Amino acid sequence: MAIKIGILGYGNLAKGVEAAINQNADMELVAVFSRRDPSTVTIKTPNVPVVSVDDIKDYVGKVDVMVLCGGSATDLPKQTAEYVKLFNVIDSFDTHAKIPEHYAKVNEEALKNNKVALISCGWDPGMFSLTRLYANCILPEGNDYTFWGKGVSQGHSDAIRRVPGVKNGKQYTCPVDAALDAVRSGSNPELTTRQKHTRVCYVVAEEGADKDQITKTIVEMPNYFSDYDTTVNFISEEEFMANHQGMAHGGFVFRTGKTGWNKENNHVIEYSLKLDSNPEFTASVLLAYSRAIYRLADKKDFGCKTVFDIAPALLSPLSGDELRAHLL
Amino acid sequence: MAIKIGILGYGNLAKGVEAAINQNADMELVAVFSRRDPSTVTIKTPNVPVVSVDDIKDYVGKVDVMVLCGGSATDLPKQTAEYVKLFNVIDSFDTHAKIPEHYAKVNEEALKNNKVALISCGWDPGMFSLTRLYANCILPEGNDYTFWGKGVSQGHSDAIRRVPGVKNGKQYTCPVDAALDAVRSGSNPELTTRQKHTRVCYVVAEEGADKDQITKTIVEMPNYFSDYDTTVNFISEEEFMANHQGMAHGGFVFRTGKTGWNKENNHVIEYSLKLDSNPEFTASVLLAYSRAIYRLADKKDFGCKTVFDIAPALLSPLSGDELRAHLL
């Protein structure tokens, strides 16, 4: 019997979840729930309804796991604790500093309602966090390094677009190769913010705008750009539309550490992702963890979980025997 | 209260475990158990006894986790199922093809005796297996690639030393850079054995031996060398002792896969290890998992486990709150 998946929202992440369901034979999409008028939302999966979020209660008992595809800024801080009253839920809440608060709220409601929730799933937080945890446990004495990119930072792109004279803009965060190499060498370098990442901006200026002023405003912007080496490239609207709509992203997690009676041996653990589509990859992680949620709910192991709490075998459609024979 | 660790054996892996205990504040070494006469074995930890394996029963109830440091060829197939009758145990059994058989035997005894066993822990099997499992669950449609090295292959070094005229020899398995790059590009290459790894041999020949014949015998040796591009370097005994005693190793695990409604997006997951000391790193993994075994035993979750069955949080000395706040 297939695991019945519901999707709340229908942005890029939700579309990624919809596509990923096709790649998991043990899952089926029950419905997409939207705050918009359902008649205005067309999904790709044939014969699956779009339902107003106002009617979501009608699906209690018909959805095994509800995948919450809202944003971390305003949607998820409300939605996850709210919908876990009705469904087992999973989200990709990625405001690292607010995870403990989010966890506490969601855990309380999950336990009260005999549901399973899994928060902050994806790749960072998510697979990167797992790499950090495993590597820290193996090498208790060492250093952690995380690099992001090359990929678009939404917050920095928004900041560019607020600069007077800017019609459109995208900002790419790029890891610095020399810093990656220094970390890989095992030399445990201390790296400043500026040494780790550069910021590359593509800007469409309004006609007659002062480009030098735009550049100066961007590169000197505190918090966002002033601590980085920032490059501003002015391009045409056509080039912007043709070359800067992609959603590629990725990054690197390292832990370097020492072992031995006299700490004489160095080790380098490196994990990296190179993703053509950030939302589709995140969606694929969410679906793998939805399988685990389904199984935990089946065992009545209720409450709020994170990727740290989930035994890896629970993610796989294969049996323990198959995993030991083929993947161990 | 510290987790009480026993070590069975005192080879390189065991010495790595002994050193790693110093890096984990919540663990203490209770005793090293040896098949040799204890008076001939000197360990590094002060005030800890070396005990004959004949007296190991005296330590029932005094050791929380027994770390079995024997070899996979002859020791562990007997030891793990034997000692799990007395202790919670962990091993690094790495004969991939025989894992299901080993699991079945150990699981039966573990359940019968209310003990926890964890088998096939380390980096391959171990951390590499985990990477393969997570990546396969996230990207169900894709390809797996594993590369080893640069590092010494014990089996191939033994094969060299059996060649007539060879006094001493070491064999390094080296991943081919072009193959690594092809995989990293996301092009999903089909790679032959020869394209993935080269084998580099360092040989000390006996005086007057026919070096051409030795080279020919090595490079044409079926199973071991004939499917690879093999280089044979003749060196002096002094150079051999000076430069080829190291235990560095490492490798790479990749999964490349596609997502999207039309499978239009590529993703590359890469995990790599660069290890100065293969046995010390393996030992460090064993100790992190010993913490998990201790906790499972405390919850009476008995039986034989693998890394696939262990929730990552169980490896860490930190609390759930701390992990969520600092590592997620």
Its ipTM equals 0.96
Give how far B16 is from chain A: nearest CA, Å: 7
Chain B residue with Cα closest to A322: B100
Q: Which percentage of chain B shows pLDDT scores above 70?
A: 100
DSSP A176-242: -HHHHHHHHTT------HHHHEEEEEEEEEPTT--HHHHHHHHHT-TTTTTTSEEEEEE--HHHHHH
The DSSP code for B318 is S
Judge whether residue B1 has pLDDT over 90: no
User: C-alpha distances in angstroms, B147 versus A7, A294, B47, B151, B268?
Assistant: 38, 34, 42, 11, 15
Chain A residue with Cα closest to B124: A328
Judge whether residue A1 has pLDDT over 90: no
Check if A215 contacts B (Cβ < 8 Å). Answer: no
Strand pairing class (A142-148; A249-259) = antiparallel
Q: For the residues A39-45, what does the mean pLDDT come to?
A: 97
Q: What is the pLDDT of residues A247-270, one digit of tens each?
A: 999 999 999 999 999 999 999 999
Residue A234 has a pLDDT of 97
Judge whether residue A154 has pLDDT over 90: no
Judge whether residue B223 has pLDDT over 90: no
Give contacts of A 268-287 with B, CB under 8 A: 268-277, 280-281, 283-285
Give how far B192 is from chain A: nearest CA, Å: 20
Residue A272: closest CA among A252, A295, A288: A252
Q: What is the pLDDT of residues B132-172, one digit of tens each?
A: 999 999 999 999 999 999 999 888 999 999 999 999 999 99
Judge whether residue B3 has pLDDT over 90: yes
Q: What is the pLDDT of residues A104-116, one digit of tens each?
A: 999 999 999 999 9
